[in-house]
Amino acid sequence: MKKRKSFPCSLLSLLSFFVILPCVWAAFAPDHGQSETHVDVLTLTGLIAPFTAQYVVGGIERAEADGAQAVIIQMDTPGGLMTSMDEMIKKMLGSRVPVIVYVAPPGARAGSAGVFMTMAAHIAAMAPTTNIGAAHPIGGQGEDIQKDLREKVTNDAVARIRALASARGRNAEWAEEAVRRSVSIAADQALELRVIDLMANSLDDLLAKIEGRTVNTGWDSRMLHTKGARQHHIDMSWSERFLHTITEPNIAYILLSLGTIALIAEFYHPGAVLPGLTGVICLVVAFTAFGILQPNWAGVGLILLALIFFLADLKVQSYALSVGGAIAFVLGSIFLFKPRIPTLPSLPEISVSPWLIAVMTAMWVGFFAFVLMATVRAHRAKLSSGANILLGAIGVARTDLTPHGIVLVQSEEWSADAIDSPIQKGERVQVVEVLEGLHLRVIKALP
């Protein structure tokens, strides 16, 4: 009888041991609560755009969900789109966790939209040798906007930035000057003028300096325990990183240029497929970036016009179209991002490097010169081998010959001269002489 009870008793004892052991461990184990606290760190660089807003808003929501002490936005931005800035600021103002904007690393800046975001943060910090400011309402390349529109835009921006600065106890007068006069100051001046709350040499230094601060998030008051906290860096998703890369103006310009060059290669060698496919992909990606960068579409049109001129010259071989194409490409490159429709003060100056324009123009001209010379050589070789066949051949005038024009002979277009009398477009012609340089002399063909 006792033997039958031994198994249940042993099992009960074993279960009790496993239940009691964790309780004993929890009672006597040291408290690691402080060392287990963490902060989430977002890195915001470059242009502020829709994908940036998605990244920041998602990062704040993640910090709210994972119990972070705070979320730090390490920022280096020239500014960006007002709609994206508004989305991020609304999330910052309504965040359940403290949001800290840290302008870093050394040499970074908070320009245009970055100024508004700094003012909206619960805690604003800057690294040494950084700067903040330049939020005056301007066009995309720094041009002054029309007086009436400028006044409306300025007043709206002033009201918004003063409200943000006042809500966070910062210098609203300086914030207004940043909008009205586009002032910009270094980190030490920003601290002295109460534009920011503190300076920090690094993230570790920042976490140590805000230890014990009480922050009112609007939901509650929270004392920060950040000294020695684990830093959880939240990276952009692959799609956000991709969009971040292509919206760099120089990258978008390179994609547009390479796309047009690839289409020229496909036109020169029909059926190759790969150049045409590459060109289409590059152009689609470039126009995706332009949808965010808001370029001067006249500049884009000039670059596409250059493509049309170059392709036409492969047929006509007049060289004048090539010169016109080169001029159109250079002008389109220069005006790609200026002058532009006036924008709100969140948008920074955007431009393409002059050196890159020079390099891409040289590539364009060099590549097309190679293609054109190869086309001419092939045509001359065909002409040399088929000159006797062309003599006496019958064709059709593609243009009026008065006396110069274009004729279609043996499924090829040729430059030609009418030697007896003008020939109208559509009339039949007969080749009487084949000249050097891909040129024919023709007469009206007998009925």
- Which residues are identified as catalytic? 112, 152
CB atoms within 10 A of CB 199: 18
Residues 441/390, Cβ–Cβ less than 8 Å? no
Task: Burial-class residue 445 by CB neighbours within 10 Å (0-12, 13-18, 19+).
Answer: middle
CB atoms within 10 A of CB 219: 11
The pairing of strands 198-199 and 214-216 is unpaired
Task: Burial-class residue 287 by CB neighbours within 10 Å (0-12, 13-18, 19+).
Answer: middle
Q: What is the 3-state secondary structure of the chain?
A: CHHHHHHHHHHHHHHHHHHHHHHHHHHHCCCCHHHHCEEEEEEEECCECHHHHHHHHHHHHHHHHHCCCCEEEEEEECCECHHHHHHHHHHHHCCCCCEEEEECCCCCEEECHHHHHHHHCCEEEECCCCEEECCCCCCCCCCCCCHHHHHHHHHHHHHHHHHHHHHCCCCHHHHHHHHHCCCEEEHHHHHHCCCCCEECCCHHHHHHHCCCCEEECCCCEEECCCCCCEEEEECCCHHHHHHHHHCCHHHHHHHHHHHHHHHHHHHHCCCCCHHHHHHHHHHHHHHHHHHHHCCCHHHHHHHHHHHHHHHHHHHHCCCHHHHHHHHHHHHHHHCCCCCCCCCCCCCCCCCCCHHHHHHHHHHHHHHHHHHHHHHHHHHHHHHHHHHHHHCCCEEEECCCECCEEEEEECCEEEEEEECCCCECCCCEEEEEEEECCCEEEEEECCC
Rounded CA-CA distance 70/356 in Å is 41
Instruction: Say whether the peptide bond before residue 339 is cis (omega within 30 degrees of 0).
Output: yes
